[in-house]
Amino acid sequence: MTAANVPIPDTPPTEGGEGSRFVGTQIYEGLTRLNTNQAEQFCTPVPGMAESWTLGDDQLTWTFKLRQGQQFHDGTPFNADAVKFGFDRVIDKNFAYFDPTLASANLQRVAGIGSYEAVDNSTFRIVTNRPYAFLLWDLQGMLLPSPTAVKTYGKDYVQHAAGTGPFRMTKYVDGQTMELEPNEGYWQGKPKLDKLVLLPMPEPAARLASLQAGDIDWAEVPPPDAVSQLKDAGFQAMTGPYPHAITYQLNFYKPPFNDVRVRQAINYAVDRDATLAVINGLGLPAHQYVPPGHPYNDPAWEGYSYDPVRARALLTEAGYPGGLKLRMAYPPGGSGNMWPGPMNERLKADLQNLGVDVELVPIEWNNIISGYRAGFQSPDWSGYDMIHISLGLSTPVSVRSFTTSGIPPQGCCNTPGYSNPTLDAAYAQSEHTFDVDQQNALLRQVTVGAMKDAFALVTVHDLNLRVLSKQVRNFVQPQAWTVDLYNVYMEKNA
């Protein structure tokens, strides 16, 4: 993994999307999950630990029928009381096992929930606080732990993490490794792999060397200039589009980025083709927040192209003809960030051509995530003008980050502190709209409107590079951050 550490196996795990990908959705499931066993379309919610559900005529009351006869990895029963325990743990501040850290991490996922109850052993009911069309998306990220394990082990729960997912944790050494083995009682049947070993390797060169030495069979994002060499050696280099971008969150709370002209200027100043050359073409130029073909991309708007003349004019108009200085936090590695060192040196050079001097400050990935959630109004982050972070719009709920309600600390994760009442209204309407085409039109309005205001700087959409040994079989590259390892197996004689 590109992660600097083994993801802490709680609900949710640490280490961003990589924690979700290799730990969260392997050890746990929510009431829903994403259909990551296919690559043809954007992933959407399907039944998980709830086998079916109904929505009442009031468009508020959701009733979930749970899978019966299921158990957590520790052998304790999965039922409606266990689901309620998982919800209480991140929602009810008076609950004995309430966890404020997990509550913060799940803030967006529970924002639409008004109340919930265990109706009977196999029925769980949620009443939303408004007609809310995105609940099923939220629930795929609401991972459910064993109540018995949480109660028994307390602060040491992560050493004994237990869910209902396809794999159970058998070993966890912080900073070193995690081992997972198949859950023989999994509702879809036993997975094909005998064991899955997770190793944090934040340095691309280390991942490459381990692949070449045969020490690992799977590497996230090896060095881009090594891909041809790896292919020639028989490795499988897998890429594919997914809703993801390298973004730079901009501090709206102070000059210079409280001026839209400056924000637009730096978007026009970036030579995205040159950035792609740095990463060996393993991406697409990001002219909008989402790539072409995404339901929130507007083909009628050309977005931001490389236009240094226009960039200089905007900067001069904003009162910075002599340029300016910026301070940027960035992660040396971490989930989805590709090759941030070389990419940010390229960005620094582009902005230097505009007279903008960028101080690059390396900060560990989990701290970057904390800054993203805290926002620039936080004293710990107010001294930065920009934060480099890899993000995607893989769910409708993620568009909430463009709204006033997403501004921390009340919401997540409108890091810049951006507010546009027109877009707020469009997003609110999308939450109440159960017709998917109408939803997408409203969410497109929000996403494109925010980027016309230069909510962020976006440079490239990566193609989710991962390299697998020739023994790995049956892996599907989904259009999502997470992956389905249920059907993956190793061909010993390949």
Residues 263 and 378 in one domain: yes
Q: What are the pLDDT digits (tens) for 217-230?
A: 999 989 888 999 99
Query: Could you tell me if 159 and 278 lie in one domain?
Result: no
Sequential DSSP letters for 226-255: GHHHHHHTT-EEE----S-EEEEEE-TTST
Residues in the chain: 494
Pair 144, 265 in one domain = no
Residues near 406 by beta carbon (within 8 Å), at least 6 away in sequence:
108, 400, 412, 413, 414
Domain extent for 44: 29-164
- Residue 447, phi-psi category: left (phi > 0), alpha (psi -120 to 50), beta (remainder): alpha
What pLDDT, on the 0 to 100 scale, is given for residue 224? Answer: 86
Together in a domain, 455 and 307: yes
- Asked whether the beta carbons of 6 and 176 are under 8 A apart, the reply is yes
pLDDT, residue 4, reads 85
Tell me the CA end-to-end span of the chain in Å, nearest whole number: 24
Residue 54 sits in a domain whose CATH number is: 3.90.76.10
Q: How confident is the model at residue 42 (pLDDT cuts 50, 70, 90)?
A: confident
Find where tokens 């501040």 sit: 93
Residue for token digits 């409108």?
414
Domain co-membership, 155 together with 276: no
Element (H, E) at 26: helix 25-27
pLDDT at 483: 94
- Exposure string of 319-328, with b = 16+ CB inside 10 Å and e = fewer, is ebeeebebeb
Q: Domain boundary residue among 127, 146, 164?
A: 164
pLDDT in the model for residue 266 = 98
User: CA 335, CA 328: separation in Å to the nearest integer?
Assistant: 19
Query: 277 and 153 in one domain?
Result: no
Position 158 confidence tier, pLDDT thresholds 50, 70, 90: very high
Mean per-residue pLDDT, 347-375: 95
Examine the domain organization and report whether 250 and 160 are in the same domain: no
**Cis-peptide, bond into residue 12, ω within 30° of zero:** yes
Q: Pinpoint the alpha helices (H) of 272-420.
A: 272-278, 308-317, 340-352, 365-374
DSSP string covering 169-203: EEEEETTTEEEEEE-TT-TT---S-S-EEE----S
pLDDT on residue 336: 73
Residues 246/388, Cβ–Cβ less than 8 Å: yes
| Domain assignment of residue 218, yes or no | no
Work out the average pLDDT over 171-176: 96
Contact present, 365 and 2 (Cβ < 8 Å): no
Q: Please identify, among 141, 164, 187, the residue that sits at the C-terminal boundary of a domain.
A: 164
Burial track 411-446 (b if 16+ CB lie within 10 A, e otherwise) = bbbbbbbbbbeebbebbbebbebeeeeebbbbbbbb
- Region 166-189 average pLDDT: 97
Domain containing 407 — which CATH number? 3.10.105.10
Question: Tens of pLDDT along 43-97?
Answer: 999 999 999 999 999 999 999 999 999 999 999 999 999 999 999 999 999 999 9
Q: Is residue 183 part of a domain?
A: no
Which tokens sit at 24?
A: 């969260």
Mean pLDDT for 257-272 is 98
- Residue 236 resides in a domain: no
Residue 152 lies in a domain: yes
Two tokens, residue 332: 């040396």
Selection from 25-29, 362-366, 463-467, 490-494 with the highest mean pLDDT: 25-29
Q: What's residue 138's pLDDT?
A: 96
pTM score, two decimals?
Answer: 0.88
What's the mean pLDDT when you consider all of the chain? Answer: 95
308: cis peptide before it, omega within 30°? no
* Mean pLDDT along residues 5-17: 94
Identify whether 77 is preceded by a cis peptide bond (ω within 30 of 0).
Answer: no
Instruction: Please say which residue of 102, 131, 164 terminates a domain.
Output: 164
Residue 169 lies in a domain: no
Q: Are 133 and 453 in contact (CB under 8 A)?
A: no
Q: What is the DSSP string of 84-141?
A: HHHHHHHH-TTSTT--HHHHHHTHHHHTTEEEEEEEETTEEEEEESS--TTHHHHHHH
Within-domain flag for 232: no
Residue 68 lies in a domain: yes
Are 303 and 448 in a shared domain?
Answer: yes
Pairwise CA distance, residues 253 & 251, whole Å: 6
Q: Which residue would you say has higher pLDDT here, 456 or 337?
A: 456
Confirm whether 182 is domain-assigned: no
Total of domains in the chain: 2
Residues 276 and 417 in one domain: yes
Same domain, 158 and 273: no
Q: How far is residue 287 from each of residues 125, 351, 412, 461, measured CA to CA in Å? A: 42, 17, 24, 9
